[in-house]
Amino acid sequence: MQFTTLPGTGISVSRLCLGTMTFGSPVAEPDAIRLVHDAAELGVNFIDTANMYEGYNRFAGSAGGVAEEIVGKAVAARRADFVVATKLGMKVGDTPVDENTSPEAIRVQLRRSLRRINTDYIDLYYLHRYDPNTAPGEIARAIGEELKAGTIRAWGVSNYSAEQLSALLAAAREENIPLPSMCQPPLSLLNTGALDALLPLCAQEGIGVIPYQVLQGGILTGKYHAGQQPPAGSRAAEKPDWMKPMTDEVYATLARVEAEAKAAGQSMTQYALAWALRQPAVRCVLLGVKRRAQLEEAAAIF
């Protein structure tokens, strides 16, 4: 396994990061815990979760917390061996602190995450989305307080535009707190928007990038073909509303990628991951799996 360091910290992380969005459903707790342990056996020490994650049972505003609790159980015996990232900012209830990144939300949601994961610190704490109702300076000050207290070791952003990140960086500098270490945008061979401005900004500022949806919800794994029903157990079969529409253009891209992967001697999964790793500022890639075999396939390129 290849390792890198979270920028601005001494935290060493595997370049493959295990995602947990499906922990709870369709990946039941015992299987999810086993996947974390399988990942560790393959050299993966980087685990990504969020306060909202609860698998396919998720709906807008539901309480979340399921994946964090599972992660807590999975890492309990070896907490120091894992780098755990979690997030706040998506709607997880009906009160003001349940759907923003205000200072109070940061204070409350972080402590809820700490309890669920059964830890006294979070290695990497993300703002899960841009909050238009909270000034960047207020967010930066609140994050700075948690860094100083040791409840978080580093911080990052997810789903921010280049313009939004620039404003937050200016606020962090004004407040004299460490800049965010990592940025987590969607990025894949089917979604390259982040390459236009966000990744160049991260490269310029020394911020690491860890893209999600690198396999576009499984579309780039080679399991989908024009004119065929999605295979049983696939996300398209189980949660089609979470999928990118399968247009003729998408199928044409898949055919091209499949040919390129074959020429490179890689599976489509490996080719898509390797492509993401070559993009500016990308330190790691985030991958959710259901089975150990999927982990092994991905880990083989690191």
Is 53 one of the catalytic residues? yes
Q: How far apart are CA 124 and CA 48, in angstroms?
A: 9
Give the CA distances from residue 40 to residues 14, 82, 99, 118, 211, in Å, rounded to whole numbers and listed in that order: 10, 8, 33, 19, 21
Element spanning 17, H or E = strand 16-19
Residue 156 makes CB contacts below 8 A (sequence gap 6+) with 85, 124, 125, 126, 127, 180, 181, 182, 183, 184, 207
CA atoms of 292 and 32, how far apart (whole Å): 10
Q: What tokens appear for 129 in the block? A: 């989305």
Please write down the HEC assignment for all residues of 88-129: ECCCCCCCHHHCCCCHHHHHHHHHHHHHHHCCCCECEEEECC
Catalytic residue selected from 53, 130, 160, 224: 53
Among all residues, which ones are annotated catalytic? 53
